Structures are given as structure tokens and as C-alpha cells.
Amino acid sequence: MQANECPVRIPHLILASASPRRAALLSQIGVTYDIHPSDAVEPPHNAYANKPASEVTQELALLKSSSVAQHYDNGLIIGADTLVALDGKLLGKPTDGAEALAMLTALSNTCHQVVTGVALIDASSGREQVWAETTQVYFRKLQNTEITAYIESGEPSDKAGAYGIQGRAAAFVRRIEGCYFNVVGLPLASLVEYLSDFQSKED
């Protein structure tokens, strides 16, 4: 096995996402994959007001992977969805700068949860594995000027909770409890465990 290869042998992995961060994470651990972004229409997050983030993210991840799986006779499809939860309120991607400002102001000086749901579907057998992982993220108190500067950088626009821990918002985070990669967009350790489980059942 070469140094950059993943120890789990996956014959054909399809990422049901256009997220460059999720693609980079898979590449980081040596997984080879194709990209087939989901065209599923996602309900607005406020439609899930009475559901916990873990349930919502799993439901959306399965929606994404299912929409792609129908195009394949074989292969393992992976879909994922990430939300930020603060006091029971779910935060998705901001629609504009004003919403990003509201989100970051609310997250300032808090402990909040970043929840990623993941759904794996074996296109040949229809077997599914769906789970969610939660990471606790602690923000320091943010100044209005730095929130404004961060929004002006354009970085918050496509990120749940209006921030990316792997980018400039790293300076906002005092500490985390749980998987760092989960905050970026994929819980790598649990993902590899489930991929290994799929492979072991095929051998």
C-alpha cells in the first residue's frame, strides 16, 4: 500500500456532493472517488423546526445519496449534510450578508453543536448505513468589526452557521470537543469504520 492510500479498499465510491471541502477530506485520507452532485430539492431548514439536528442531517444526507444512487447499478454512494445547532435552533448556510451577521453574532461567546449526517448506500444491494456525529464548538467573544470583516471576505456564504473552521474563522474557536473533521464536513474516523464494515461484508 502506498503512503497516500486509504487502508480500506472501496471499488467505486461516489460523492453525492459538490462540496470542495468534503472532496478534499476524502482525498486527504487516500480514498479515490467520483463526484456526482445530488439534484435533490432540500426542504428549507425551518421546515424542521421541531426536529433535532441529528435527525435532520441524517434525513437530508439520505435524500442526497438516494437521489444519486438511482443513477447507478453498482458503487457506494456517500451523501452528507452539516448543520449548526444553537439552543435548539438550526443554522444552515446564510442566504445573504445580513443573515451571516445574525448567525455569527448569535454564535459569539457560545458553545454550539456542529452536526453532520452521513448516508452510505450500496447501489447494487440497496444496503444503507446512516448516522450523525456531533462536535461541540466553543467560540470566543467576537467583535462586530471582525464579524463584518469576515463576512466581507466572502468565506461564510456556503458554510453552515456562516463559518468555516478550516479557514479564517479558526481564530474564532477557543476549543472543540469531538471530531474536528466533522466540523469541516465529514467525520473521517467513523466514515472509515463504516466503509470498512461495508467492505468486510462484501469479502
| Residue at 117 is within a domain | yes
Question: Is 158 noted as a catalytic residue in this protein?
Answer: no
Which pLDDT score is estimated for 6?
56
Contacts of 141 (CB under 8 A, 6+ apart): 108, 109
pLDDT tens across 85-119, in order?
999 899 999 999 999 999 999 999 999 999 999 99
Q: Does residue 151 surpass a pLDDT of 80?
A: yes
Strands 13-15 and 76-86: parallel
Q: What pLDDT band is residue 2 in, cutting at 50, 70 and 90?
A: very low
Q: What is the CATH number of the domain that holds 189?
A: 3.90.950.10
Q: Which three cell numbers stand for residue 163?
A: 463559518
The predicted pLDDT at position 10 comes to 59
Read off the C-alpha cell for 59.
Answer: 434525513
**Domain hosting residue 113, numbered range:** 13-202
CB 130 within 8 A of CB 118: yes
* pLDDT-above-70 percentage for the chain: 90
Q: What is the mean pLDDT of the chain?
A: 90
**Residue 3, domain member (yes or no):** no
CA distance 25 to 19: 10
Residue 57 lies in a domain: yes
Q: What backbone phi and psi angles, to 5 degrees, belong to 170?
A: -55, -30
181 φ/ψ angles, rounded to the nearest 5 degrees: -65, -25
Position 82 pLDDT exceeds 80: yes
* pLDDT surpassing 70 at residue 7: no
The number of folded domains in the chain is: 1
Confidence label for 196 from pLDDT (cuts 50, 70 and 90): confident
Task: Check residue 139 and give its pLDDT.
Answer: 98
Please report whether residue 2 resides in a domain. no
Q: Is residue 154 part of a domain?
A: yes
All three cell numbers of 63, joined, read 435524500
CA gap 5, 12 in Å, rounded:
14
> Given 39, 81, 96, 203, which residue is catalytic?
81
Backbone angles phi and psi of 56, in degrees to 5: -65, -45
Distance CA 125, CA 79 (A): 17
6 lies in some domain: no
> Can you read off the three cell numbers belonging to residue 120?
452510505
- pLDDT value of position 88: 87
**Region 168-188 average pLDDT:** 97
What's the first-to-final CA gap in the chain, in angstroms?
A: 18
Q: What is the pLDDT of residues 122-145, one digit of tens each?
A: 999 999 999 999 999 999 999 999
Give the closest residue to 156 by CA, choosing from 111, 82, 100: 100
Q: What is the mean pLDDT of residues 42-70?
A: 87
Give CA–CA dist 166/139, Å, rounded: 14
pLDDT of amino acid 203: 52
Handedness of CA 168, 60, 77, 40 (dihedral sign): negative
Q: Is residue 7 part of a domain?
A: no
The three-state secondary structure class of 163 is coil
Q: What is the DSSP letter of 11?
A: S
The answer to whether residue 39 sits within a structural domain is yes
